[in-house]
């Protein structure tokens, strides 16, 4: 692949940015769900942002068009792949901060093509690290890892409670899983992201880079075009809105701590602001015990929101699926003061509203009358425990 192709376009913005206005920020994978939300926050705050993205994920071109329309000249775009060392080197040069989000994100894809998965996640991350190390003043760096680095968590004994699993150990139940949990990479995806995770930590130790790792739970919110393999909250909502069946792998009682993307962006901006102090550390980032939900819980919420029960089928468990994962984010809270603010009830409603707007816009552009929204006054789901 040749060096990156840059595309310049027009912008305005105001606010209180992190870091100081005028310093260029690189976001690899910046057209994706999380990347576009981070870019929007920074651009609105007056930052100059360069997005490096190969636009391989369906839907991301819509995120890029949205950013261009809103922010124009503050946004610079490089259509390139993180496996292209020359493109990465050019993108990193002169950057104050690097948000490294570009990745192959699906366990199923990693099982089908482990070499592709490794080349994107492990080699791509090493390319970014080497480009950063080569700078006279290396940029601060935040890398998004995954809870999959902890494996299937078979050492955590579970019990069923209603529509969800919960740990028998009261400490884990009350606090979640912290960073002392042993690493146990499962699936090629877990291995490639885990290798990248460890490289980012070690480059802080070996080369004094201000690099930080977020081991993330389930993130959801606007600009997410969820699929069966990644972004399950959005995927469930999209399927339910279209009256299409939803597949539950396993029994549907799997539990995650979901985190709304606005809360994640807050955490990320704090992390890069404090990167010299946080360098070489990994943090578990998610909604925590107060924001837990199971797959079946979400189906119940969708029934209350849409006025009909979503159709679903059950399939066998998938490789590397965790029956329970909830983040203990106390380490990051203690070091930065961060805590999530948006509840699952509010966040799911906000995501549904955004997806409904996207559906209506698409239908209008195609000349199709959108389906009517459910009548007001439908019963609302009870708060999550």
Q: What is the DSSP track for 15-68?
A: S--SS-TT-EEEEETTTSHHHHHHHHHHHHTT-EEEEEE---STTHHHHHHHHH
Is 375 a residue whose pLDDT tops 50?
no
In which element (H, E) is residue 248 found?
Answer: strand 246-249
pLDDT of residue 22: 54
In which element (H, E) is residue 160 found?
Answer: strand 158-161
> 238-276, pLDDT tens digit by residue?
999 999 999 999 999 999 999 999 999 999 999 999 999
Confidence band of 5 (pLDDT split at 50, 70, 90): low
pLDDT of residue 371: 52
Average pLDDT in the 164-173 region?
96
Is 1 a residue whose pLDDT tops 50?
no
**What share of the chain has pLDDT > 90, as a percent?**
81
Is 384 a residue whose pLDDT tops 50?
no
CA–CA separation, 361 vs 36, rounded Å? 19
CA atoms within 13 A on the CB side of 344: 27
Catalytic entry in 189, 220, 324, 325: 189
Is 11 a residue whose pLDDT tops 60?
no
pLDDT of residue 36: 98
Told to judge if 325 belongs to the known catalytic residues of this protein, a careful annotator would answer: no
pLDDT of residue 238: 94
Confidence band of 13 (pLDDT split at 50, 70, 90): very low
Task: Say which residue the tokens 């559906």 belong to.
Answer: 359
Is 68 a residue whose pLDDT tops 90?
yes
In the three-class reduction of DSSP (H, G, I as helix; E, B as strand; rest coil), residue 246 is classed as: strand
Q: Name the least confident of 59-63, 357-361, 378-382.
A: 378-382
pLDDT of residue 307: 92
pLDDT of residue 379: 31
Is 221 a residue whose pLDDT tops 80?
yes
CA–CA separation, 49 vs 64, rounded Å? 12
Average pLDDT in the 207-219 region?
97
Average pLDDT in the 319-335 region?
94
Average pLDDT in the 324-348 region?
98
Is 285 a residue whose pLDDT tops 50?
yes
pLDDT of residue 363: 65
**What share of the chain has pLDDT > 70, as a percent?**
88
Domain boundaries, the chain: 5-227+256-301+318-342
pLDDT of residue 229: 74
Give the phi and the psi of residue 326 in degrees, each rounded to 5.
-135, 130
Confidence band of 369 (pLDDT split at 50, 70, 90): low
Average pLDDT in the 108-112 region?
92
Phi/psi region, residue 93 (left: phi>0; alpha: psi -120 to 50; beta: rest), is beta
Contact at 8 Å (CB) between 285 and 270?
no
Give the residue with greater pLDDT, 178 vs 58.
178
CA–CA separation, 209 vs 84, rounded Å? 21
Confidence band of 367 (pLDDT split at 50, 70, 90): low
pLDDT of residue 224: 93
Average pLDDT in the 92-113 region?
95
Confidence band of 310 (pLDDT split at 50, 70, 90): very high
Average pLDDT in the 15-31 region?
71
Q: Whole-number mean pLDDT of the chain?
A: 89
Is 378 a residue whose pLDDT tops 70?
no
CATH 3.40.50.720 for domain 5-227+256-301+318-342:
yes
């Amino acid at each position: 692949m040749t060096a990156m192709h840059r595309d310049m376009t027009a912008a305005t913005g105001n606010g209180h940015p992190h870091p100081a206005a005028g310093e260029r920020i690189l976001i690899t994978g910046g057209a994706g769900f999380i990347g576009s939300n981070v870019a929007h926050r920074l651009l609105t705050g007056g930052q100059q942002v360069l997005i490096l993205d190969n636009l391989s994920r369906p839907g991301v071109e819509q995120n890029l068009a949205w950013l261009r329309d809103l922010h124009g000249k503050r946004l610079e775009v490089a259509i390139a792949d993180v496996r292209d060392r020359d493109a990465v080197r050019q993108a990193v040069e002169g950057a104050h901060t690097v948000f490294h989000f570009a990745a192959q994100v699906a366990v199923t894809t990693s099982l089908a093509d482990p070499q592709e998965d490794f080349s994107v996640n492990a080699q791509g991350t090493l390319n970014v690290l080497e480009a950063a190390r080569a700078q006279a003043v290396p940029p601060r760096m935040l890398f998004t890892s995954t809870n999959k680095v902890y494996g299937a968590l078979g050492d955590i004994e579970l019990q069923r409670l209603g529509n969800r699993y919960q740990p028998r150990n009261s400490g884990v139940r009350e606090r979640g899983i912290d960073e002392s949990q042993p690493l146990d990479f499962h699936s090629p995806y877990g291995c490639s992201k885990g290798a990248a995770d460890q490289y980012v930590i070690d480059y802080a130790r070996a080369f004094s880079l201000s690099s930080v790792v977020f081991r993330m739970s389930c993130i959801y919110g606007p600009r997410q075009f969820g699929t069966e393999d990644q972004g399950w909250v959005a995927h469930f909502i999209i399927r339910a809105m279209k009256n299409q069946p939803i597949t539950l792998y396993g029994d549907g009682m799997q539990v995650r701590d979901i985190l709304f993307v606005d809360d994640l962006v807050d955490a990320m901006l704090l992390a890069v602001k404090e990167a010299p102090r946080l360098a070489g550390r990994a943090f578990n980032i998610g909604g925590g015990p107060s924001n837990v939900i199971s797959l079946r819980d979400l189906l119940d919420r969708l029934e209350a929101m849409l006025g009909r029960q979503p159709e679903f089928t059950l399939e066998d468990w998938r490789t590397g699926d965790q029956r329970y994962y909830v983040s203990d984010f106390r380490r990051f809270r203690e070091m930065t003061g961060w805590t999530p603010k948006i509840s699952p009830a509010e966040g799911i409603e906000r995501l549904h509203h955004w997806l409904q707007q996207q559906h209506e816009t698409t239908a209008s552009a195609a000349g199709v009358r959108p389906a009517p929204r459910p009548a007001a006054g439908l019963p609302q789901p009870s708060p999550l425990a």
